[in-house]
Amino acid sequence: MSMAPNQPLTVLKPADYGTDQDVRWCPGCGDYSILAQMKKVLARLGADRSKTVFISGIGCSSRFPYYMNTYGFHSIHGRAPTFATGLSLARPDLTIWMVTGDGDALSIGGNHFMHVIRRNVNIKVLLFNNRIYGLTKGQYSPTSEQGKKTKSSPMGSPEFPIRPISIAIAAEATFAARAVDVDIKHLEYVLERAARHVGTAFVEIYQNCNIFNDGAYDYATDKATRSDNIVYLEHGKPLVFGKNADKGIRLNAMNPEIVDLKTVSKDDLLIHDEKTPEPNLAFLLSRMRMPDFPEPLGVFRDIQKPVYGDLVHEQITQAVKLRGEGDLQSLVTGTETWTVE
């Protein structure tokens, strides 16, 4: 490829990361905000479009790659982690973002979701959790609340929901975080943290489906009530929340409890630590759920662990060191031969 030496380095703007395709999400969908913040983060990081890949499964969220002017792969339902794993193994030089939803990742793709995290494959996983099946027009999902009335559960869903971050942590996630679609500054912060993590970075994004599950996250987005309903996690800081920062989370034996800061000192509050070697704190935080507790947003966990692809390639390097680069003729010849005159 020829270089143009006299031209200044191109600095890409957020819009440069978008394609010319018409975005086909419903007007008002939370996905628009996530798309916009994603472009901003890539521009800020100066991401190389040719070395960035978006991989998705099936569902509304999984249309995401078509709108990013990078390499992209819209794959099959639930299997995005498998394509991402293979690509990451073949091409450790790439930055791979995987986009999935609550049905895609936790229902049909539950198995792969667990294993990609367990292996610590070097990819970023964004799970758009709208707690509903949108593309198939409104059936309950694995994160829908029990009793949810949908077309496939007219009498209310009899199923218990699972919590994506609990699953990720149980699968030994090295990075787990949560953000909300319309809290754009915080979303941008979380996406950037994920981008900088080495290993599987899992991000749950609360995303409003204004057609089939509108208002599912009003408690976390409504300006009047949100400060009482969410708590921002900051590494090394106590868990304080409330409109007037007047409430906190304290540990009582193994359980969190809400305390009033008028009567309890901040020093007695639970201090967030993203780096604990054991994930118990992150798991405990992932269990905090409305209406009993404010729901944590931010980075639950961020630790370093060897990356799957590195370990695999290290074995190849080791094998070459021990046995020399493979020679095809000696391979096909083998060790036991005989000659026919």
Binding of other proteins at residue 334 (CB under 8 A)? yes
CB of 55 to other proteins, least distance (A): 8
Q: Smaller CB distance to other proteins: residue 115 or 305?
A: 115
Q: Can you read off the two tokens belonging to residue 106? A: 């936790």
| Total residues binding other proteins (CB under 8 A) | 65
Q: Is residue 272 at the binding interface for other proteins, with CB under 8 A as the rule?
A: no
The whole-angstrom separation of Cα 310 and Cα 78 is 25
Instruction: Determine which residue in the list 88, 122, 143, 229 makes contact with other proteins, applying CB under 8 A.
Output: 88
- Which whole-number Å values give the CA distances from 57 to 52, 63, 279, 320, in the listed order? 17, 8, 28, 36
> Does residue number 79 form part of the binding site for other proteins (CB under 8 A)?
yes
How far apart are alpha carbons 340 and 44 in whole angstroms?
Answer: 68
Maximum C-alpha span of the chain = 98
Q: Tell me the DSSP string of 231-260.
A: EE--TTSB-EESTTS-EEEEEETTEEEEEE
Of residues 82 and 174, the one with the C-beta less far from other proteins: 82
Asked if 74 touches other proteins (CB under 8 A), the answer is yes
Q: Which stretch binds other proteins (CB under 8 A): 145-153, 183-191, 222-230, 327-335?
A: 327-335
Using rule CB under 8 A, residue 325 touches other proteins: yes
195 binds other proteins (CB under 8 A): no
Q: How far is the CB of 193 from other proteins (least distance, A)?
A: 24
Residue given tokens 């973002």 in the structure block: 97
Using CB under 8 A, which of 34, 47, 94, 180 touches other proteins? 94
Q: Is 84 near other proteins (CB under 8 A)?
A: yes
Our finding on whether 329 is near other proteins (CB under 8 A) is yes
**120 makes contact with other proteins (CB under 8 A):** no
Binders of other proteins in range 37-56 (CB under 8 A): 48-53, 55
Residue from 37, 61, 85, 174 binding other proteins (CB under 8 A):
85
Question: Within 21-40, which residues bind other proteins (CB under 8 A)?
Answer: 21
Report the residue from 13, 26, 44, 86 that binds other proteins according to the rule CB under 8 A.
86
Q: Which two tokens stand for residue 196?
A: 């900088």
Q: Is 204 left (phi over 0), alpha (psi -120 to 50) or beta?
A: beta
How near is the Cβ of 59 to other proteins at its closest, in Å?
12
- With binding defined as CB under 8 A, does residue 13 bind other proteins? no
Q: Are strands 175-180 and 201-206 parallel, antiparallel or unpaired?
A: parallel
Choices 31-39, 263-271, 291-299, 325-333 (CB under 8 A): range interacting with other proteins: 325-333
Closer Cβ to other proteins, 80 or 220, answer by number: 80
User: End-to-end CA distance of the chain, in Å?
Assistant: 53
Residues 6+ apart with CB under 8 A from 219: 225, 226, 229, 290
Helix (H) or strand (E) holding 282: helix 280-287
The nearest distance, CB 53 to other proteins, in angstroms, is: 5
Q: In whole angstroms, what is the distance from residue 295 CA to residue 79 CA?
A: 29
Among 91, 266, 275, 289, binds other proteins (CB under 8 A): 91
Name the 3-class secondary structure at 54: strand
Structural element, H or E, at residue 300: strand 295-302
Closest CA to 106 of 159, 70, 44: 159
Of 262, 237, 225, the C-alpha closest to 247 is: 262
Nearer CB in complex with other proteins: 125/190: 125
Residues engaged in binding other proteins (CB under 8 A): 1, 19-21, 48-53, 55, 58, 65-66, 68-76, 79, 81-91, 93-94, 111-112, 114-115, 312-313, 315-316, 318-320, 322-326, 328-329, 331-334, 336-341
